[in-house]
Amino acid sequence: MGELTDAEVKDLFAEIDTDGDGVNRLRELREYGRTHDTTLQGMKLADFVRGADTDGDRRVTSDEFTSFFA
């Protein structure tokens, strides 16, 4: 990847995290996919979650999110 700056990644995370709890759940990602493009950076959301959710709890924390884009 590497197409987004740190600030853009933070903005994107905050945009997806609609309830502002610092975790992007699958539900929030799905919601984001509904209201925006169905893909995130050219990836299907399910693939994104699989790739970014390193501990496999189906939630993408800001740490997981930023290291995915780093």
Find the helix or strand (DSSP H, E) in which 34 lies. helix 26-35
Q: Would you say 67 and 9 are in contact if contact means Cβ atoms under 8 Å apart?
A: no
Least distance CB 24 / Ca ion (angstroms): 6
- Residues 5-24 interacting with Ca ion (rule: CB under 5 A): 17, 19, 21, 23
d(CA 24, CA 5): 19
Binding letters toward Ca ion, positions 30-59, x by CB under 5 A: -----------------------x-x-x-x
Q: Contact residues for Ca ion (CB under 5 A)?
A: 17, 19, 21, 23, 53, 55, 57, 59
